[in-house]
Structure 1
């Protein structure tokens, strides 16, 4: 009695990566001959460890590193890196460690890049100052028009003076020792 099925090993047609066992059928015309499915072999694939893949190429199996399912970060740019079959963290200049905010790779781990952190804070605070000044000048404009036309009421003149004072206080903020490390209470109070 002959076997009606034989287990063989399938591999990916482009990468050669081991896909798993599959079945070969006996030839109906030649006894003892097995018909192997396309992209399969009778050779047993090697046992692989974690982050390794068995690859069939040029008639034999080999083992390649397989970091494709692992989230890696470039130590040069701190951006995510996608590994391909055969890549390693070393070959990609990457790490498993997720970067912190304002990252700088020190050879062993991520450290905070103090100059980048300070530059980002200065940019954010300058943008906030610019927006507050723009809002203040927009609020002042109709009051200044009323003043220049000589039709401003006493209440409008008081309001205009308050907005001018507010603009001066805003413009002096960069001269403070704590600039740009301001908290909300450091900002002058906007006129009502």
Structure 2
């Protein structure tokens, strides 16, 4: 009766992760002997557990953490890819920040009031800049007519309304609740 081919346990050539089992090939030069290819061994690996993988080491099989994938810097929330086995490096987490205005605090992301206010202020300033640019476009012809002494009373009134509107736009920071709550002034076009 022929010897039954032994099971062999294969592992990856670079990461040394367990890949699966197969059977050894017969040695054509030595009857009854078996060929054990590179990246394979005869001893069975232990069972793995959730979030871990089994890999080969110099001393046999070992179970290691598998955190490969996208990681987030706890300093600034930027994403990077962890490609090696092992624990999550210090200064990183697998938890994605909910938004750019969250900061890492111990073991979770927390909303930063300072960053939130800065983002809201930046958004308000961008909106105001657009509204001021629109107002300047509307005021230009009215101001030209006034400068050459050819403005009608209606044009003078409209120019004054646009000037008042720009003054109110430039005072939004003075409102109580800014930048979370802003009551935008009504443009003269909206009043018509």
TM-score (norm 2): 0.83
In the alignment, which residue of structure 2 is the partner of 1:93? 91
Q: Which runs of structure 2 are paired with 1:78-89 in the superposition (5 Å)?
A: 78-89=77-88
Partner residue, 1:40? 40
Please give the alpha-carbon distance, in whole angstroms, between the structure 1 residues aligned to 2:146 and 2:180: 37
The alignment status of 1:105 with 2:101, answered yes or no, reads no
The 2-side partners of 1:24 and 1:41 are apart by 10
Higher mean alpha-carbon deviation, 21-30 vs 149-158, is at 149-158
* Alignment partner, residue 143 of structure 1: 142
Paired with 2:103 and 2:85, the residues of 1 have a C-alpha distance of 27
- 1:11-160 aligned at under 5 Å gives the runs 11-58=11-58, 60-68=60-68, 72-89=71-88, 91-101=89-99, 102-160=101-159
1:64-83 CA distances to partner (integer Å, 9 max, x unpaired)? Answer: 211125x5443322334533
Aligned equivalents of 1:93, 1:32: Cα separation in 2: 55
Retained in 2: the 8 A contact 1:10–1:40? Answer: yes
- Give the Cα–Cα distance (whole angstroms) in 2 for the partners of residues 154 and 5 of structure 1: 105
TM-score between the two structures when normalised by the length of structure 1: 0.83
Tell me the alpha carbon deviations over residues 110-168 of structure 1, each in whole angstroms, 9 at most, x when there is no partner: 22211111111112112221221121112111221122123333333332222112112
Whether the aligned pair in 2 keeps the contact of 1:4 and 1:25 (CA below 8 Å) is no
SS of the counterpart of 1:92?
coil
Asked if 1 retains the 8 angstrom alpha-carbon contact of 2:3 and 2:32, the reply is: no
Q: Give the whole-Å Cα distance in 2 for the aligned partners of 1:28 and 1:108.
A: 59
Deviation for aligned residue 1:5: 4.4
Aligned residues: 188
* Residue pair 1:74, 1:94 contacting (<8 A) in 2 also: yes
